[in-house]
Amino acid sequence: QSATHLSHGIPYRPVRKYQNVQKLFVINNLYKSYCLSSRVVTFRVSILRQIIIEIINSDNKWRKNQQHSSLRTRWATSTSLTDALGRVVLAPMTRCRALNGIPQPALAEYYQQRSTHDGFLITEGTLVSNTAAGFPHVPGIYNEEQVEAWKKVVDAVHAKGAIIFCQLWHVGRASHQVYQPGGAPPISSTSKPISNRWRVLLPDGSYGIYPKPRALETYEILDVVEHYRRAASNAIRAGFDGIEIHGAHGYLIDQFLKDGINDRTDEYGGSIDNRCKFLLQVVKAVVAAIGAERVGVRISPAIDHLDATDSDPLGLGLAVIDRLNKLQVELGSKLTYLHVTQPRYTAYGQTESGRPGTEEEETHLIRAFRKAYQGTFICSGGFTRELGMQALAQDEADLISYGRLFISNPDLVMRFKINAPLNKYIRKTFYTQDPVVGYTDYPFLTKGGKDGLSRL
């Protein structure tokens, strides 16, 4: 053996064995072992480090999946009052506190205040691109500075043991040139502007008329789909447990779905199948990027917000649900949930929709959607504690999301649990940039069940 080595001009010496490296690589030849340079050893140790990181990441992903699965099971089997109150969700609500599109420390406090162990939160609408804004100071998730800022918010929520999804949002025509790059007109499925019944909130706090949008060219639509995909990936990098695709309330995706808006003559207009195409492309792209188990979808077939009317809301909703059901079968995996906003009729003390209807019509609509969808079903829109409990008891939803009640009651779940009085929200503070007033200063209950100071 020594002679063999000497014939190559290399004296024979025992070779030190690197035990940590040998766990991954079996060294069968002493000569080859001897020739390993420190660079190769470093490379192999680097490979080992990468493998360990991958194992840790896989374990974290498994734990999150288990957490999602556990929550789904609890949602599906909840029967007691306590369990039912565990099915209260923070609905996404625009609050305009992310200065220049960057989540500020106040956002971390706001969301942590509303977090409970095993609670479920959905963020305010979060912009998927620099053309997506229609309100001042709303957060984005399309650049690195935004991703890094969101990490602190997510960490604050996770510290309380809650799950948080990021709602991906593009307002489409519900914007103004002041929010668009270069002062360009906002994009949409159509060139029809929103009527003067509605006003756009401008950065200086005044209200303006919605301008005429620019209808997207067919070839441009896949670029917008890519914006959603990239935003979803960014959300996961920021630590979010999943995302919700905002396909409701008259914003961009809804502008494709509703026949009262969509007047296209290409493959994205006309039939219900064509009008659903953009939403389905977004869902598929996002699912391919982060997995179906991390994706929720929100729709509002019967809401006429921002002129988003449809001649057949029931038919539209069932068509969307049918396509989502088929997609789930195709994927062999369910989406996290479907989130449906019901019409806010006068019966619920709300008159903002303006769409005429009755409580019976509303109940029929929601029950039809609930029955049709094969997965977890979230319902929102004007619910009180009692109406939410009733909807859960009658199996009209798996979860109920609350918006404005959560604004003024950060401990809403506890207040519901003991049937405590609720703080009244102050509407004029909804869309200001104050990081405290009307945002993080609403009082919590004290141990005696009375209102105390704002605190985490």
pLDDT tens-place string over residues 18-34: 444 444 444 444 445 54
Whether 90 is covered by a domain: the verdict is yes
Are 21 and 128 within one domain? no
Q: Residue 264: which residues within 8 A CB-CB, separation 6 or more?
A: 189, 190, 215, 270, 274
Are 13 and 156 within one domain? no
Are 24 and 113 within one domain? no
Count of domains forming the chain = 2
3 half-sphere exposure, CB direction, 13 A CA radius? 0
Are 147 and 95 within one domain? yes
Whether 110 is covered by a domain: the verdict is yes
Contact, 342 vs 366, CB < 8 A?
yes
Whether 260 is covered by a domain: the verdict is yes
Percentage of residues in the chain having pLDDT higher than 70: 76
Q: With 50 as the cut, is the pLDDT of residue 4 above it? A: no
Q: Residue 123 to residues 15, 166, 411: CA-CA distances in angstroms?
A: 58, 5, 17
Q: Which of 110, 142, 228, 251 is catalytic?
A: 251
Are 301 and 357 within one domain? yes
* Closest among 180, 310, 200, 199 to 256, alpha carbons compared: 310
* Closest among 338, 405, 320, 390 to 91, alpha carbons compared: 405
Whether 162 is covered by a domain: the verdict is yes
Task: Find the CATH number of the domain harbouring 290.
Answer: 3.20.20.70
Helix (H, G, I), strand (E, B) or coil at 317: helix
Are 126 and 247 within one domain? yes
Average pLDDT over residues 69-91: 62
Active site residue 251: yes
Are 18 and 150 within one domain? no
Whether 134 is covered by a domain: the verdict is yes
Whether 391 is covered by a domain: the verdict is yes
State residue 362's pLDDT score.
Answer: 77
Helix (H) or strand (E) holding 242: strand 242-247
The one-letter code for the residue type at 25 is F
Q: With 60 as the cut, is the pLDDT of residue 416 above it? A: yes
> 165 pairs with which residues across the strands?
122, 242
pLDDT tens-place string over residues 42-57: 555 566 666 666 665 5
State residue 363's pLDDT score.
Answer: 82
Whether 379 is covered by a domain: the verdict is yes
Are 91 and 239 within one domain? yes
Percentage of residues in the chain having pLDDT higher than 90: 73
Burial class from Cβ neighbours inside 10 Å (0-12, 13-18, 19+) for residue 243 reads buried
Name the least confident of 11-15, 194-198, 288-292, 342-346: 11-15
Q: Residue 12: which residues within 8 A CB-CB, separation 6 or more?
A: 1, 2, 5, 6
Contact, 302 vs 342, CB < 8 A?
yes
Average pLDDT over residues 2-14: 39
Q: Quote the domain boundaries for residue 382.
A: 78-429
Whether 453 is covered by a domain: the verdict is no
